[in-house]
A = this chain, B = another copy of it.
Amino acid sequence: MSGRLFVVGLGPGDPQLLTGEADAALSTADALYGYGPYLDRIPPRPGQARHPSDNRKEPERAAAALRCVAEGAQVAVVSGGDPGVFAMAAAICAEIEAGPPAWRSLDITIIPGITAMLAVAARVGAPLGHDFCVLSLSDNLKPWPLIERRLDAAAGAGFVIALYNPVSRARPWQLGAAFERLRRHLPAATPVVFGRAVGRADENVTVTTLDAAGAEAADMATLVIVGSPETRIILRPGRESLVYTPRAMPEASA
CB atoms of B244 and A85 under 8 A apart: no
CB atoms of B112 and A118 under 8 A apart: yes
Within 8 A of B (CB), among A85-123: 85-87, 89-94, 96-97, 104-105, 107-108, 110-115, 118-119, 121-123
Chain A's interface size range is: 35 or more
Within 8 A of B (CB), among A27-63: none
Residue in B closest to A124 when the chains form the complex, CB atoms: B110
Tallying the copies of this chain within the complex gives: 2
Quick one: which of B17, B131, B153 contacts A20, CB cutoff 8 A? B17
CB atoms of A122 and B131 under 8 A apart: no
Query: Given that A19-B17, A89-B122, A90-B244 are contacting pairs, would A105 and B237 also be in contact in the complex, using a CB cutoff of 8 Å?
Result: yes
CB atoms of A16 and B11 under 8 A apart: no
The stretch of A65-73, A138-146, A166-174 in contact with B is A138-146
CB atoms of B141 and A247 under 8 A apart: yes
